[in-house]
Structure formats: C-alpha cells, structure tokens
Structure 1
C-alpha cells in the first residue's frame, strides 16, 4: 500500500430479516454467512479488525469492525516494446509505440522510456486498486448468501428469489450510510425489527455500533447467539437450584433452544410423581425431543418431577405460561406410561416371534433370522473369551424383541433401553437385561463402550453379522452412501476388540458369520477377505486422530495380520520405536537390506555359516543378532513389542559398522550368500513386529 494514501475505515453491518429459521441449522448458517463475508472481503483485499456473527430465529447478521473504505492502491508498471523498436532512426514513434499508447490510454507524445534491467523499453506507470468498499460489499454479501449450506431453498409470494425462509427486510450500513445494494430481491435500508411480541416494529439503526444495544432495548432481542446461550444456561441452572435439583443441559438441545428464542425466559414446570415409574429415558426423550425441555435430576442422578422450559416472551403472568407447558407435556408422559404398562403384559420371548415378518435385508432374511445368527456367533465369542455362553445366547435371542413394542414405536431412541426394562420385568437375568441396553454401544465416535462382558459379546456379534451379510451380497459402502452404517459398525468392532483387550481373530469371526448366512452368501471366503480389508482400513482414521503417522500403520499392516488387538499393540510399539534416536538409521538399514534381498531373490532360504564370517564387523553383527534373538523371543511370544523394539535399537552400531566395513556382494559366492543370510536374520528379527523399512523417509 502507498504510504501517502491514507485509507480510512468504517464499521459495516448487514442483517437479513426472515421468517423463523430452522433451529437445528441456525448456528451453521450463521457461521457460514460470516465466513462467506470474511472470504469475500479478503479476496477483494479489504482489511478489517474483526467480524462479529449474530443470529436469532428471525435474522442473520454480521458486523465488521474498522473495514477499510477502499482496496489498497499500488503502482503497476506496464512494459512495452524496446526503445529501438518504439522509435525510428529519426526519433519518431513507430506503429508499435502508437499501439502501446492506445492500449494504455496515453498520448504517444508522453511515452516514457526506462531500463527494465536488461534493455531500454517503453513503460507506463499505472495505479491499481482503490476500489470503494461501499461498491464491493453488496456483491460480497450476495455471494455469501448464495453459498450458504441450505439443503432445500424455498420461494415465497410472486418472487423467484430463493432462500431457506422468506426474507422480509435487508439492512446494510457502512458507517452511518446505507449501502446502495440489493440482495434476495430487497433493496438495502437501515431498518431492523424488534421482538415479534414485545417490540413488533421497525427499528432504525443509525450506525453499526448501535445495532446490538438497540436490538436489546427497545427491541427486546439478544442478537448475539453466544450471549443468549450463556444467559439461557444461567437461567436454567438457577431455576433448577430453586427446586433443589440440577438441570441436565445437553449441548445439542441448548443450541436448539438458543435458536428458538430471541428474549429467553426460563420457567420451571412440574409433572405428577406417578410418571417417575416409567423408564426415565422415555420421559426425558418426550421432554427433550418433543417439547425442548431440560430435565432435572437429584444428587443421586435420579430424575425429578420437574422440567424447565425456555419461553420466547417475558410474560406478565408466568404461571399461565407454566400451566400451558404442563398441560402440553402431561398427555405425552401419559402416553409413555400407557405404552410402558401395555408392553409389560407381553414378554420379550413372546414378542420375538413377531420379528419373523420384519425384513432385515431383502436377500438376508428377517430380523428373527438375524437373532438366530447372532446367537450362534455370540456363543462362539463368549466361549473364546471365557464368558458365560448361556447368558450370551439368551441376550442374543431377545436382542431385537423390543423393536416391536409400543414404546420403541413411539420413541425410536428407546430401542435397547426398553428391552432392558422389559427384560427385568420378565425376570430375565440382570446381565441379559444390561446386554440388551448395551448392544448398540458405541453409537458414535467417542461414545462409551458396554460395561458388561455379555453386552460386549452381543455388541460384537450383532455388528459382525451385519458386516458379513452386507459385504456378502456386494453392498460395500461407496462414497457418501452407507445405508447400513458399515463404517460406524467397523470402527465400533475395532474399538470393542482393542479397548476391551479381546485377543480375537477378526478374520475367523467374519468367516463364521458369513457361513451363518448359508446359501444367501455365495462366497464366504471372498466375503471375509473383502470385509476384513475394509474394516482394518478404518484403523487409518483411528491412528490419524491419535497423531500416529500413516507409515507406522503401513509398517504393521504389511504383515497382513487379522487380530486387531495385536495390530494395535504393534502400532503403538512401532510409534514408540520411531521416536528413538536409533530408529531412523535402523529403518534406513532395513530398507537397504530389503532392497538387497529383493534383488537377490530366494529370501529366507540361505543358512548362516559361522566359519565363513571373516570380517570383524560381520562377526560382531552375527553375535549381536544371536544375543538379541534370545532376548526378544519371549518378548515377541508375549506381545511385548515395545520392549522388543527398544532392545533391538541397540543393533544400530553393529549394523552401521557392518555396512561401513563389509562388502556384501563379495566375488566369492559362498561369502556373498553367507552375508546375505546374515542380513536375512537381521531383517526377520525386525519383521517379527513390523516392516520398519517403511519408516525410512523416501529419497527426494
């Protein structure tokens, strides 16, 4: 920027006034709108100090502090033809010079010649930039609105304009001036609007600095999403304390409630004590999902007969508002109580037969068939880990029976949870009941795992059955399409096996599951291989999140292992090893050894003959390998890979000496083969854990 050109700045404000925006996407829309404007300003070269994002149910707004009033100016040198081409021998301008003058809008008589460092040439000094921000912000706002992540846009009235909701006003100010611009079919002005009930009128904004406070008073609108959310949390917590409870504030629900109100007022309601006999999860689901209420618990984390609603109005008679909310929630809780009481009259065992006509997958049979397969697989898993086989079988038989209950029909998130309560009511063992509740864990990344062994067994068997079946009919996930949630199921299985320290062979489990489908799967072997490769590939994302480099996983996966717990132990060990001072040199040496042996072929067929070890360096390496072999053998056998690799790190010095002092490819074929045999021993020792040659950096 030219230091002589003083660029002034002003605050900029844009507000899009709409009908009620979708609460679940308001936060996302607000963030995207702000980022879109920031990107547009940056692309235009307009500087500013900070951008503030505002969002309420009826508006998206952005205020930009100290926005430069024009883009930076800079001098641009436009070079023309050489002077000897621009002028003839008499010093008159040539056609080439005239063309250069016309192109740059200057008089040929004013042409200037300068040296560009190589030759004398015509030059024109022009200035670029200096565009007024007032003229640029309108198109920037339009582009930001057009780029918003709106799944389905709508039209309204006779307009052809499309947006997430009908738009009723557009405010755009640069300092105290209205920006001459249009967006979404509206011309920009300086009017906003207050709260729909408390201040349903136009609010004329003099300048951007006034916006937040003027909307607050007299507008009765808290436009700052973060401020509004903090106030809601404070009000809800205070209201809960007044009745001796603690509010359970779910982050997603808090976001949604914040997106539903402009002037929040927390109100405490109550429901009958008798409803507490219903599973609390059902009551919470009804309050949270249907009414957007926060529930309360006591010091023992037991549900209390209260709820907190957040109203969008400061009522003169809060008791009436509370009464209205209580009237709304009572029938829903009564429905849950009715479903619970009705469902208990039929046992899960009796309900299991109703799974017969319900299709799991058109080519893979019914949900009843799935429980049969899960039972067989769960029993096999339980036997391998010394768990109670009878409990695993019983849990598998009943695991999907609650899907045909009225409770789950009304509250789909109660599946598994409802089964837990009904199993207890039926007199089933508590371990079986808990397994029914835990079978869907983990539901998402970072979710908790089953606490019980039977629950873990059931969670594994269910997912492995699904994976084998869907892969068996060629329905591998593609792109964003994963209707059976196989990515999530794969990660869940890996987490269960690794975090529960279950030393199970995934290939064997998948193969057994594939055989359970009988003729529905044509090639169990191919199914096992495809599903296994897909599942183990999910480890990549797992280790990326753990900040473990990809080459570490590749070094282990090169061994084609099929026990996830063993794979994880090796990856953790190799990751520790790569951080040792000796690791880089040993990885490079292993890579060199690998290349030599690959070129010579017949790897592993040579035998080391001690009498042919002539050089001191090769004798020292042979002795070191023999010594280390004895030390690490029991470590390998017990899966203590970290200790083994740390011990092998001591080989760096004898390996370096060997390559410095010994000619591997000796002319004598016996010496050459013996030295190759020594290198094979070195290579195989490390390969017991992983192919650490893959840790060596690629040569540039």
Structure 2
C-alpha cells in the first residue's frame, strides 16, 4: 500500500426502497466522510453510488494511517518538584509513572508564569485498517431507515438483507465483517444478465467492471440513460415524452440496466380526461406518456430492467395491463356521470375526517363558513360570493366518486372534470375552484388563480390547522402526519404571492370558534401564531432574506403575511441607505433607554413643548411632529418603503440630539419629557419595523 490510495466500499442487498435509494446513498457517504474527518484521515474527494441492489462509495486519495501527533503533558511546577534534599517529590514521581517514563525523561518548560516539568512524546497514528470498520459500521447504523429488517439468525438489522460486501484499499482487501458477510473484492452483476461474481481489482475499475456486468452503478449516469431511452422511444411514436421528475427518480431507482419498451393503447380511451389517462399510466404502471404539442398520443413508455430478446412480447403484456386499467377508468368515469356531484355530498357524513373532529361533511361546512369570512374580508362582490358558496358545498364531493376511490391522486381534478359535464354543467369558475383549491400541493407548485379558488384554498388549510391544533395534533420535530407545515406554507404563499392582505389571526380565531370540541382558545391561537410565524421565517430565509430583516419586521407586525412581505421589502431597501446604520444604532440606544426608564416613568406620555430646553430637542420634536403627519397616510396605504425614506431624514437631528442633550438629567420632568420624545420617535419606526434588530 502507498501512503495514499483510493478506497471502495459496496454493500450488496435485496432490492432497496426506490424512493429512499438516493437518500440512503448520500447518507452513507456523509456518515463515512464525517467519520474520516473525525479520525483525521486525510482524503481528496468522495463519490457515492447506488443501484437497486447496492450502496457504494469511493474515497479518492485516502491516507493509509492517521498522522502522528506530538503530545505534551504538563506536570508539577519545578519549584515544588523536589524536597529539601533535592530528591524528586511524590508528585513528580507520580507524574512520571502516569506517563510511563522515568523522571530523567521529563523536560522543563519555561513560561511567563513559571517553570514546569513536561513529558513530550509522539502518539503514533493508527492504521486505516484498524479505524475503518467502526467508521463504516457507525455510518450504516445511522442511515435514515424508518423500519429495519432482521433475517436469518442475525441480531443485526438493516433496510434489506445483505448478500455481499466489498472493501478495497488500492488493490488490497481490508478486513471487515458485518451482517454475517466478510468483505472481499467480488461484487455481483445484474440479477438476470450477469448473476455471477464480478471481480473488482481496484476502486478505479468499479464502474467499468459493473457496467460490463450490465449494472450502471452511478445514479446520474443511469438517469441520463433512462431519459435518452425514453426520448428515443417517444420519437419513434412521433411525439415527445413527458418526463415527470418523481417518476424518473422512481424508475431510475428500480433498474440497473434500463431498457425502454414502447406500448400503445386504444385511441378510444383518449375520450377520457387526460389527467385520468396520465394517472393510470404513471401512478399505477410507472409509465411515461407521450404528447405531440398539447395533444396526448395513444402511446406509453415503460422502462424494463432487462434487454429482452423479444421486446414485442413485453410490450404486448404491458398493453394488456394498461388496457385493463383504462377500462376500469372508463367504467368509473361513465358511472360517476350518471348522477350530479351534489348527490355525493350526503355520503361524506359517513367519512371520518378525524375521530375527534367529526366527518368530512362537518369539515366541509366549516370550510364553507370560513370561506365566506375570507370573501367578506376581501370585499368580494355578491355574485362571486354566491359562486364561492356553491363551490364550497361541493369541494369534497368527488371524494365519494368511484374514480377517486380507485385513483385517490385525482381528488380535486375529478371534481373539476365532472362539474363541467352533464348532469352538473356548472360555471367554469366553480369547476376550476374544485380543482385549484388543492393548490399548492407541494413546494413550488402552482397557486389557485381565481378569487373563488384562493378563498376556498385558504379556508380549507386554515380550518385544518385550527382544528388539528385544537386537539393537540400540532406538528413535532419528527412527525407531521396531517401535512400542516405544507398547509401553512400554502396559506403563506397564497396570501403573499396573490397580494391578499388578510389578518390570519382573526381568521384562525373564526376557525376555532366554529369547532365543537373543548379547548383553551387563547392558548391554541397563540400556538398557531407561533407556528405560522415559524413557517414565515423559513419562507423568507429560503429566499435569502437576512434573518435580522425578518426579526425586525416580525417583532412589530400582526399576522398579515402580505403586509409583512411589504415591510420586509421596504427594510431590504432601507438597509442600503447611507442613514440606515446610524438610525438602527440610535433605535437600539433608544430601546435601551426606554427599557431602563419604563419602571419609573411613563414613556408614552405626551411631549410638553414648554419643557423642551435645548435647540437639538426642539428641532427633533418639530421634525417628529412633521413626519408623523407625513407618514400616517403612507402607512395606511402600506407604502412602507416611502415611510422609511421619509424617516431616514431624522438621522442628522437624532445625531445632534444625542451629541448635545443629556436624556437622563437630574430634572425629573425634563428627563421624562425627553424620554417621551424618544418614545414618540421610536414609535414612528415601529409602525414599519423594529430597526433596532438590524445588525448593520
């Protein structure tokens, strides 16, 4: 072995969970990387790999052993190290024994604080082979696996049964035993194309050796191969493949040697709504659909894990399965259209939303009432409110449809599809709301476009958050079974990005007020406030907003996300002003003065002009009065950027005030008057944000 060489580790298993594959590979590499760094084992780089039957990593330029470390232990002071006869004291002898040395081996260390005996030695670094087994085992034990398996008579557990281990440093096998397997230099190829052992001579040969055995171990390479194969098959069908990221990740994680299979279905099925066909292909058969422009073509592409000698037989089998799914969908679609959506509402009374919160029908009534509160807050016209009422009364109806029972992912979509068709024939605005009130469904998803959709989407999420908090089902660090974090982010995004200036505190209070269970409303409302503000903070930090900017606004704002957004944007502009740093510092100083004086004076008393003695405080008072009248209409209009621009003109007056005026003077009345002036000035800023929080 050389001083530095490459390391390969591979753990071979039964097929791993597809949607966890990439996460497991990254976690394993991160865990080993952390262990190597903690052990002070130098390396150049690290790369992880994964396929359905293996997790692996290669460490480039890994040191063969830890570096030697110079050690110095300090013992007794020299002045106390010998007795009167000049013999070593018991303390010195004991120190030498603890070091495994003779007194004569000790050295002297001179410092500013005196001289000491020390023992210097070199701690020899441990070899990689001694350290690596524990590092790998620790990383494997910490993988994010919610449910681990036992197999055979082993006490050890893992995500899937383990069949082989590879551990190579350069061209040498390092000793390692885990899960009943001893590491070697032999991997296993493709389950069907190359089920035999694959010898790995050195880490650099790993990817090539496996590719020769019909395994693409690099996830990114395999993903690109899948995309290229799908696109080629779609081109053959005269269209373009629609590649969904989640489906691509899933397919990439279940194949080691991707091979596309083009299939076709009867064009008669194209009469079904496109989302129904796509759901049948994607959700159930893990197939990609094909389009030409906006038109769906009667083709689909599956990705096989083998190169079939007769792909037409495989395609025919896939087509039979897809036909059966589409036959079911066509039957459900026809059956559901035999009765209006409204006929399904009664059945919601028998569907439990949550044991302590009643039925889905009960929830729908709460959503309907809350949606009207939201409409009233926005002053929506009466005809819009009437359509909102209709939409709210039907928003959960499709949950009782045959189609949604079979294809749950189509909830909302089927409400939209059925509402437009006979026997419903509802206006497009109502139909659209039945679909869009589910938006956004995930991070970065579309938002509802209409006032009806937005009101319904907000009402549904606000009701869910309020109801579940009321029964103690708030999200925890590890659990969020009702996806309340996602619901909160939806509320935040809709109100901010659709410019809806709504007071969420009053809406949550209204939502809590209509619940029939017993709880402490004030306590729950405070918990919800903290929860929403926490999500707001995360929303802005993810966008790159400085944490002190958010804190400055949050501490001075009610729970109105759109209003908070305008304040944050205003503070972002204010930070770049030349006056910002001085005014932020002045506000900090004022806040401290007010805090100290709050106990023995009324900081919010009116300023008495007759008590203003110094020209500097008279000037500041005059400017504060003038600015109060200037910024009041601007604050009313929410033009916070202009407010801060006006308030920035206070800088010079504030600087002169603090240079020339003694606030905490001996005259109690004058002191309190000056404090009141500072309080008045600070309140001007607090109408926008607490700029004393800014770290400029």
Query: Closer, same or farther in 2 for the Cα pair 1:655/1:237, shift >3 Å?
Result: same
Q: Measure the CA separation in 2 of the matches of 1:22 and 1:678.
A: 66
Instruction: After superposing the two structures, state which structure 1 stretch, 461-470 or 402-411, moved more.
Output: 461-470
The SS at the match of 1:275 is helix
Matches within 5 A, 1:285-684: 285-300=279-294, 302-385=295-378, 386-387=380-381, 388-425=384-421, 426-517=424-515, 519-520=516-517, 528=525, 530-559=527-556, 561-598=558-595, 599=597, 601-609=601-609, 612-668=611-667, 671-684=670-683
Deviation of 1:249 after TM superposition, in Å, equals: 1.6
Preserved CA contact (<8 Å) 1:36 1:144: yes
Deviation of 1:596 after TM superposition, in Å, equals: 3.7
State yes or no: 1:189 paired with 2:184: yes
Instruction: After superposing the two structures, state which structure 1 stretch, 43-52 or 666-675, moved more.
Output: 666-675
Preserved CA contact (<8 Å) 2:288 2:302: yes
Preserved CA contact (<8 Å) 1:7 1:70: no
Deviation of 1:471 after TM superposition, in Å, equals: 3.6
Instruction: After superposing the two structures, state which structure 1 stretch, 176-185 or 411-420, moved more.
Output: 176-185
Question: Could you list the per-position Cα deviations for residues 267-306 of structure 1 after superposition, in whole angstroms to 9, with x for gaps in the alignment?
Answer: 2111111222222222222222222211222212x32211
Question: Could you list the per-position Cα deviations for residues 396-448 of structure 1 after superposition, in whole angstroms to 9, with x for gaps in the alignment?
Answer: 01000000111111111111011111111121111111000011111223222
Preserved CA contact (<8 Å) 1:503 1:563: yes
Unaligned runs of 5+ in 2: none
Q: Measure the CA separation in 2 of the matches of 1:565 and 1:337.
A: 44
Q: Measure the CA separation in 2 of the matches of 1:63 and 1:103.
A: 42
Query: Closer, same or farther in 2 for the Cα pair 1:206/1:576, shift >3 Å?
Result: same
Matches within 5 A, 1:126-205: 126-205=121-200
Instruction: After superposing the two structures, state which structure 1 stretch, 85-94 or 344-353, moved more.
Output: 85-94
Unaligned runs of 5+ in 1: 1-5
Deviation of 1:260 after TM superposition, in Å, equals: 1.0
Query: Closer, same or farther in 2 for the Cα pair 1:330/1:676, shift >3 Å?
Result: same
Match of 1:20 among 4, 7, 15: 15
The SS at the match of 2:350 is coil
Query: Closer, same or farther in 2 for the Cα pair 1:75/1:550, shift >3 Å?
Result: closer
Preserved CA contact (<8 Å) 1:83 1:113: no
The aligned counterpart of 1:276 is 270
Instruction: After superposing the two structures, state which structure 1 stretch, 383-392 or 666-675, moved more.
Output: 666-675
Instruction: After superposing the two structures, state which structure 1 stretch, 592-601 or 276-285, moved more.
Output: 592-601
Preserved CA contact (<8 Å) 2:216 2:257: yes
Preserved CA contact (<8 Å) 1:471 1:531: yes
Question: Could you list the per-position Cα deviations for residues 451-480 of structure 1 after superposition, in whole angstroms to 9, with x for gaps in the alignment?
Answer: 122111111122222333334445444443
- TM-score, length-normalised on structure 1? 0.91
Q: Measure the CA separation in 1 of the matches of 2:15 and 2:140.
A: 17
Q: Measure the CA separation in 1 of the matches of 2:116 and 2:619.
A: 73
Count of aligned positions: 687
Q: Measure the CA separation in 2 of the matches of 1:679 and 1:183.
A: 70
The SS at the match of 1:587 is helix
Deviation of 1:99 after TM superposition, in Å, equals: 5.4
Instruction: After superposing the two structures, state which structure 1 stretch, 28-37 or 137-146, moved more.
Output: 137-146
Q: Measure the CA separation in 2 of the matches of 1:537 and 1:192.
A: 48
Deviation of 1:642 after TM superposition, in Å, equals: 0.8
Q: Measure the CA separation in 2 of the matches of 1:96 and 1:378.
A: 81
Preserved CA contact (<8 Å) 2:367 2:392: yes
The SS at the match of 1:170 is strand
The SS at the match of 1:444 is coil
Deviation of 1:103 after TM superposition, in Å, equals: 4.5
Preserved CA contact (<8 Å) 1:355 1:368: yes
The SS at the match of 1:487 is helix
Deviation of 1:346 after TM superposition, in Å, equals: 1.9
Query: Closer, same or farther in 2 for the Cα pair 1:162/1:651, shift >3 Å?
Result: same
Query: Closer, same or farther in 2 for the Cα pair 1:389/1:102, shift >3 Å?
Result: closer
The SS at the match of 2:605 is coil
Q: Measure the CA separation in 1 of the matches of 2:105 and 2:590.
A: 70
Q: Measure the CA separation in 2 of the matches of 1:86 and 1:604.
A: 69
Question: Could you list the per-position Cα deviations for residues 195-241 of structure 1 after superposition, in whole angstroms to 9, with x for gaps in the alignment?
Answer: 11111211222222222212112x12111111111111122122222
The aligned counterpart of 1:220 is 214
Match of 2:54 among 55, 59, 64: 59
Query: Closer, same or farther in 2 for the Cα pair 1:223/1:550, shift >3 Å?
Result: closer
Deviation of 1:115 after TM superposition, in Å, equals: 4.1
Preserved CA contact (<8 Å) 1:606 1:673: no
